[in-house]
Amino acid sequence: MDGKKSKISVYIYICIFIAILFMGTVLNVKNIPKAVTGGDYTDGFFGRYTFVEINGRITKKLGIKEMNERLLLDSGDSLVNPMYGNVWLFDNVEKTVDLSRKLSDKNIPFLYVQVPYEIDMNDDEPILKTEHSDDVANEFLQRIRAEGVECLDLRAYIATEYPDYYEAFFRTDHHWKSETAFSAMGWISEYMEDRIFHESVPGEYKDPASYETEIIEDSFLGANGRRTGKNYAGLDDFTVLTPKFETSLTLCDDNGELKTGSFDEVLLYREYLDSDSLYENSMYDVYTGLDRDYFKIINNEPVIDKKIFVVKDSFSRPVIAFMSTIYREIVAVDVRYNDPEKESLYEIIDREDPDVVLMMYNPYMLGTEEGFDFE
């Protein structure tokens, strides 16, 4: 760097660099305590989602199909979270079998419901040859079935009902759509009618025509999409299903009754439908709100006088909401958030004394320890 030209270079370098450092520091002063205490400094970084969107646009322009550990599939433009690595825990098989046996001793039926994953096992995207969500679920089911645990594999229903597998799921979120969750409620209810309760649920409760359909178009950026921005992932439509028939429900948590009213009043958390909070909120949380350790829905005018206990993950929330219109009580426990020191899953089951226990897990849960912390 010499002469007049070098002076220009020197000033350009210094001006731009100092400007970036100065603005980046000043605009994020509030995050410094987080940085000092080892918190996530990036979370809350000024203009974070503008950066995310710029990055998403560049990545998409370059034709790159992976961004921030998410994979953009050709099939339906779905953005998915592949389960690379054949991860599952043998302990989890034992714990599930144990749970089933202990319930059997108390004459409480147990049903393991295999929730599908967001990736179609028949997808011919090359990289998915190393994706193992279905292998994990197959292995787990095979082992617990061999030990006499009753299982309902919803993947088979999805394969039959959805010729385009990805239609069952949001494009930008790992969860199934409201409509799919509603179908799942129907499949589970029918299975219980036939195999456990031997009592029929009137068809209207499982018929989508009995529900109002409210479609909010191009409004939902799912959990996968929030990692890449909408420029990369696009947006989903979101459907809210509300019963046309009369409902009277009561929602309770650990502290007692929260609210009583109709399905809409009690189970729909409409604040999550605000499309202006694209990056902060997930519309998927509209049904029963965020994941929590325990909640109970009491149907004050039940169709079937049974108490269902659900060991759940996030896929179960809309299913439970729809199910609550039928059964007397639904108790939902998310073991990941439950403190077993306070009250273990077994203790909660003893206290609630349900007519059936359902365990509904998606394949990702089968490789986690926290999802099986029962005692």
Partner 1 sequence: MVFSSLVFLFVFLSITLAVYYLLKPLPIVFRNVWLLIASILFYAYGEPEYVFLLLASIVINYACGFFIERCKDTVKAKIWLVTAVTVDLLILFVFKYLNFSVSLLGDLTMKLFGFGIESPGLSLPIGISFFTFQAISYVVDVYRGSAKAQKNPLYLGLYIAMFPQLIAGPIVRYKTIEEQIEHRNVQTVDFALGIERFSIGFSKKVLLANTFAIMADKTFGLARDGDFLTAPLAWLGAISYSLQIFFDFSGYSDMAIGLGRMFGFKYEENFNYPYMSGTVTEFWRRWHISLGSFFRDYVYIPLGGSRVGRGRLILNLFIVWFLTGIWHGAGFNFMLWGLMYFVLLTFEKLTGIGKGLKGILSICYRTFTLVAVVFGWVLFRAESLGTAKRFILSMIGLGDDFYSGIAPWYMKQYWLFFAVAFILCTPVLTFLLKKFEHKTWYGVVKPVIVMAFFMISLTYLVVNAYNPFIYFNF
Interface with partner 1 by CB under 8 A: which range of 33-41, 178-186, 204-212, 259-267? Answer: 33-41
How deeply is 254 buried, as exposed, middle or buried, from its count of CB atoms within 10 A (0-12, 13-18, 19+)?
Answer: exposed
Tally of CB atoms within 10 A around 226: 21
Q: Do 219 and 277 form a contact (C-beta atoms < 8 A)?
A: no
Which of the stretches 50-58, 146-154, 170-178, 354-362 binds partner 1 when contact is defined by CB under 8 A? Answer: 50-58
Q: Which tokens in the block code for residue 154?
A: 């919803």
Q: By CB under 8 A, is residue 127 in contact with partner 1? A: yes
d(CA 359, CA 110): 8
Indicate whether 63 belongs to the interface with partner 1 (CB under 8 A): yes
Question: Which CB sits closer to partner 1, 140 or 238?
Answer: 140
Q: Using CB under 8 A, pick the residue from 171, 175, 227, 230 that binds partner 1.
A: 227
Min separation Cβ 311 and partner 1, Å: 29
Q: How far is the CB of 255 from partner 1 (least distance, A)?
A: 36
Q: Judged by CB under 8 A, which of 84, 162, 269, 294 binds partner 1?
A: 84
CA–CA separation, 55 and 229 (whole Å): 8
Residue from 44, 77, 86, 258 in contact with partner 1 (CB under 8 A): 86
Of 93-101, 122-130, 183-191, 366-374, which segment contacts partner 1 by CB under 8 A?
122-130
CB neighbours of 105 closer than 8 A, spacing ≥ 6?
none
6 belongs to the binding site for partner 1 (CB under 8 A): yes
User: Using the rule CB under 8 A, which residue among 44, 54, 156, 204 binds partner 1?
Assistant: 54
**Binding span for partner 1 by CB under 8 A among 56-64, 264-272, 299-307, 350-358:** 56-64
Q: How far is CA 346 from CA 79, 95, 270, 354, in A?
A: 37, 12, 33, 12
Q: Is 353 left (phi over 0), alpha (psi -120 to 50) or beta?
A: left
Q: Is residue 369 a contact point for partner 1 (CB under 8 A)?
A: no
Per CB under 8 A, does 250 bind partner 1? no
CA gap 279, 220 in Å, rounded: 9
Name the region of 3 (left: φ>0; alpha: ψ -120 to 50; beta: rest): left
In the complex, the smallest distance separating the C-beta of residue 172 from partner 1, rounded to whole angstroms, is 16
Question: Are the C-beta atoms of 84 and 131 separated by less than 8 Å?
Answer: yes
Residue selected from 122, 130, 200, 213 as contacting partner 1 according to rule CB under 8 A: 130
Question: What tokens appear for 84 in the block?
Answer: 């690379």
Q: Is 68 in the site for partner 1 (CB under 8 A)?
A: yes
**Distance separating alpha carbons of residues 205 and 299, to the nearest angstrom:** 13
Helix (H, G, I), strand (E, B) or coil at 276: helix
Shortest Å, Cβ 45 to partner 1: 6
If one asks whether residue 143 binds partner 1 (CB under 8 A), the answer comes out as: no
CB of 337 to partner 1, least distance (A): 24
Q: Is 28 in the site for partner 1 (CB under 8 A)?
A: yes
Using the minimum distance from each CB to partner 1, give the nearer residue, 31 or 92: 31
Helices (H), the chain: 3-26, 32-36, 48-61, 90-105, 133-146, 154-161, 178-192, 223-226, 230-233, 263-267, 316-323, 345-352
Span from 4-12, 110-118, 166-174, 207-215 in contact with partner 1 (CB under 8 A)? 4-12
Interface with partner 1, residue 48, by CB under 8 A: yes
Asked if 77 touches partner 1 (CB under 8 A), the answer is no
Is the CB of 11 or the CB of 245 nearer to partner 1? 11
User: At residue 362, what is the residue type?
Assistant: N
Residues that bind partner 1 (CB under 8 A): 1, 4-14, 16-17, 20-22, 24-25, 28, 32, 35-36, 41-42, 45, 48, 51-52, 54-56, 58, 62-69, 84-86, 125-127, 129-130, 227-228
